[in-house]
Amino acid sequence: MCPPRHYTTCLLLLLLLFLVLSDFSISQSQSPSAAKRKRMKEKVRNMFYHAYDNYMTYAFPHDELKPLSKTFTNSLSELGNLKLEHLPQDYHGSALTLIESLSSLVIMGNSTEFERAVLWLSENLTFDVDARINLFECNIRVLGGLVSAHLLASDSSKKLFEGAYNNQLLVLAEDLGKRFLPAFNTPTGLPYAWINLKYGVMENETTETSTSGCGSLILEMGALSKMTGDPIYESAALRALRKLWSMQSSLKLFGTTLDVATGQWIEYSSGIGAGVDSFYEYLLKAHILFGKEDFWKMFHSAYVAVQKYFRHGSWYHEADMRTGRATYWQLTSLQAFWPGLQVLIGDLSAANSSHREFFHVWKRYGVLPERYLLDHQMIHPTEKYYPLRPELAESTFYLYQATKDPWYIEVGESIVNSINLYTKVEGGFASIKDVTTMQLEDHQHSFFLAETCKYLYLLFDDSFVHENNYVFTTEGHPLPVLSNWHEELPQAYVPTNWTFVKRQPRVNRISAMSLQVCPALNLKSGQHIESACHIPDARSDFRCLTDEDCGVDATTCRRRSCSMAGYCGLWLII
């Protein structure tokens, strides 16, 4: 018992004891989840360094590692499955995997290795080589890697350099950006898919390219313009994007391949996968990064069209851009990025639904096959491979950030365990040639370090994204959201999805995609929130013949159906 003169001291001691016990109780209740995340973080870190160290030992300074034979491939000019052409004998590659690993090194807290890599690149890397490269791949991998790493190195708060950083990566990025520009010299402004780094567009170069190839350049080239003060890079990418946008069908859909000389479509069928995926991704992310309302309007229009014509339950098939009729009923591994994009716009129900279907296929085969035929419930006979792709891990990261549902931690653990079980070899991580037999292929793609390991690490340790708002490019390179890159300074940021509400007196027409809410609501001051998932019925009088004539309800985000009387409504309880 406390003497009267020590009542205050005793009360303070009791309060302190209560706080300690409370903290202990809370930490005990949280410890299983926290312990698992810490354990898995270290497991992913070990994965990254097993891949990175083997690359540095057996492949550096060449582009990518062949982990089974412990040799290398100079793949910068092989991207797109074409071989090296006219390379000098002393050419040692572009150190592609090293460039792709820069931001991952920062995220994992290895500033020493980051600084060493930057210094080596600044002293040894050159783009003055007689090499024919794929513009899209070189943009997202090399230019994106350099731009992202420069922005990280320039952030004094991160203290990544013991000495002074003198914009060495920016110098390299601008040199590469200048070498891209001849590709845009076409009658349409749409860039060639292939360009020689030394001599520009070669004679008789193919004029065929993909929608992603000419519509997914704005983040990297736009950022380069912001950093250098030279608008030429952003202007070239923006002109191509606007021309591509003008080529949409009456249904607001796009094809997969086109001719840059004539501006005519070659392949009219498309979906959300290969050849088109990053086009949709960059419309939204360009709005977030640069604040231009045009990007938002384009994305919103495109998203509604995708939901209307491509979505079938939890799956997304392909369709003809002219008619909207389904063409190919197939799942591709590249489509697995889509739930992550839906998280950024707040369409969580749709994101979760699709993500679970992708993970179901993963669990069935142990990994995600490149192409799965939905109508036959079987793997595509010639595309059975799994090249260590990151898209499912990426969407899992975004969904966990949005929901904090521990189920996504379990998904991440399953992905990590499968990769280690089936693809880890002495010399790194090998791609899988056939998921039905788990036969390996001698290739460790650079995106395994740039994306797969990065998103898995961020799933278990998200401290990096607590410091700043970032947009991750389609290759997983983080670009900080900076107010001085926006045309108008935003009044307030929404930290959950890195978008903003513009100030009055402009009409404040907020979308549910920005606020991560599904129902359409009337806010104070008469503001109206348009539902992200809302898809109008085919007819304004709500009449219908089949369920296909009905859209998605704006209030509940549930699919409407056609009644026996011929009207669309929420007749089915799902």
Q: Catalytic site residues?
A: 137, 277, 370, 391
Omega before 32 cis (within 30°)? no
Query: First-to-last CA distance in the chain?
Result: 63
Q: CA-to-CA distance for 141 and 446, rounded, in angstroms?
A: 9
Kindly provide the b/e burial profile for residues 354-383, where b requires at least 16 CB atoms within 10 angstroms of the residue's own CB.
bbebbbebbeebbbbbbbbbbeeeebbeee
Between strands 265-267 and 315-316, the pairing is unpaired
Contact 554, 535 (CB under 8 A): no
Give the DSSP H/E element, type plus range, for residue 358. helix 348-365
500: number of CA atoms within 13 Å, CB side?
A: 22
329: left (phi over 0), alpha (psi -120 to 50) or beta: beta
Contact 179, 209 (CB under 8 A): no
Q: How is residue 361 annotated by DSSP? A: H
Q: Which two tokens stand for residue 564?
A: 């026996």
Three-class SS state of 319: strand
Three-class SS state of 425: strand
| 3 state SS for 465-516 | HHHCCEEECCCCCEEECCHHHCCCCCCEEECCCCEEECCCCCCCCCEHHHHC
Residues 6+ apart with CB under 8 A from 484: none
Q: Which two tokens stand for residue 140?
A: 């997202």
User: 473 a known binding residue?
Assistant: no
The torsion angles phi and psi of 320, rounded to 5 degrees, stand at -75, 125
| 3 state SS for 83-119 | CCCCCCCCCCCCCHHHHHHHHHHHHCCCHHHHHHHHH
Residues 6+ apart with CB under 8 A from 319: 253, 269, 270, 271, 309, 310, 325, 326, 327
- Burial zone of 160 (CB within 10 Å; 0-12 exposed, 13-18 middle, 19+ buried): buried
Q: Which two tokens stand for residue 252?
A: 């607001």
Query: What's the gap between Cα 546 and its chain centre?
Result: 36
Place of tokens 């013991």: 162
Place of tokens 């089936």: 422
Three-class SS state of 530: strand
Annotated binding residues for Ca(2+), written as ranges, equal 474
Annotated binding residues, written as ranges, equal 474
